[in-house]
Amino acid sequence: IFPSFSNLFIYVTIKRFVTKELEGDNMAIVGFRITELNAKNNEKAASNIEVKSTPKITDIEEIKLSNLENVLKILFDFETKYDPNVGNIKISGYALYQSDDAKKILDSWKKSKALSAKLAENFLNFILRKCLIKITYLADELNLPPAVRFPILKAKRSKEK
């Protein structure tokens, strides 16, 4: 039985989530939580199923924490759709993001509902890694195609003389 994600709260144990693009930038993803999980198999037979997974930032809020300053709550949806419509999987949640530029990021979001390309790319890649693991498990449990392609091993054929 799949564990309930409604009360799951995962604190990222690594103080900094850093990629080469962010080295030198004082930022960190300090928390992650899934708040909603929906998965359904529509029980339709189909072939040539196309799988599309899309992470999306839905909102950004300022959050006050007693032990951290400059923290933003970045809400997201991550949806995997199947075409034809044999099922769907959707995860909603948020990540806590700490940055010295939190005020500037929040102001920019309120004005344009957009993040800088570098921040959006890195945040969405973080969400992609966290959610694809869960979606792959759920797809397997629901007998849906996986959201990622797994490598296929082939036996090496020996040359006959």
pLDDT for res 10: 35
On the question of pLDDT at 44 being above 90, the answer is no
> Which ranges of 61-151 would DSSP assign to H, the alpha helix?
102-112, 117-141
pLDDT in tens, 118-155: 899 989 999 999 999 999 999 999 999 988 888 888 88
pLDDT for res 94: 97
Two structure tokens written together for 94: 């948020």
Amino acid letter, 11: Y
What is the Cα 135 distance to its own chain's centre? 10
Q: Average pLDDT of 47-76?
A: 93
On the question of pLDDT at 98 being above 70, the answer is yes
pLDDT in tens, 24-38: 454 689 999 999 999
Amino acid letter, 101: D
pLDDT for res 160: 67
101 pLDDT band, cuts 50/70/90, is very high
pLDDT for res 161: 60
Residue in 128, 105, 129 with CA at minimum distance from that of residue 116: 105
pLDDT for res 127: 93
**pTM of the predicted structure, to 2 decimals:** 0.76
60 pLDDT band, cuts 50/70/90, is very high
